[in-house]
Structure 1
Amino acid sequence: MKIGIHPDYRPVVFRDPSAGFAFLTRSTMTSARTIEWEDGNVYLVVDVDVSSASHPFYTGRGRVVDTAGRVDRFNQRYGKR
């Protein structure tokens, strides 16, 4: 690898404020904000809109789509010509 062309790879906290969920991982993301983590160290924090704690697929609050009605409606419009 060439020296001096890659971004810094460091520990970063990703936080979902809507769900009150945060996790620590390594990333090249940067931020002007910091947070004191559970281990007492201070890390950069990046706020995200959706995480596994708030996404409907992972929480089980997803909507059931009426696919049978959509197929029937498609067949009425375009099918059996």
Structure 2
Amino acid sequence: MKKDIHPDYRPVVFRDTNSGEEFLTRSTMASKEKTTFEGSEYPLVKVDISSTSHPFYTGKMKYVDSAGRVEKFQKKYAKFAKKKPAGEEAQQPVAAE
């Protein structure tokens, strides 16, 4: 292997933004933020989903929308949602026998 081309592995704290759970592991991820974990300071990387909040591991379905994507979608396509007048549903054509 070539020397000095691979990033260094170092201890990094990952924080699940949904559950608030933090865990320490080794990673090459870089971060400007720092946090104290078990008495020492480490780089902090925030993640949206981890094993403490993912429905597969928790067994609970949880709605996660960290960036407002659903609201953005609904706003964008609200103009295409046409409302039918109250009596129009009853005026469906009947199929001939």
TM-score, normalised by the number of residues in structure 1? 0.70
Q: Which consecutive unaligned segments of at least 5 residues does structure 2 have?
A: 63-97
The higher radius of gyration belongs to 2
Higher relative contact order (CA 8 A, sep 6+): 1
Q: Give the paired residue count.
A: 62
Aligned residue in 1 for 2:2: 2
Q: Please state whether the residue corresponding to 2:51 is helix, strand or coil.
A: coil
RMSD: 1.4
Aligned residue in 2 for 1:52: 51
What is the CA distance between 1:62 and its match in structure 2? 3.8
Q: Which consecutive unaligned segments of at least 5 residues does structure 1 have?
A: 64-81
C-alpha separation in 2, matches of 1:19 and 1:62: 14
Aligned residue in 2 for 1:75: none
Give the residue type in structure 1 aligned to 2:55. Answer: P
TM-score, normalised by the number of residues in structure 2? 0.59
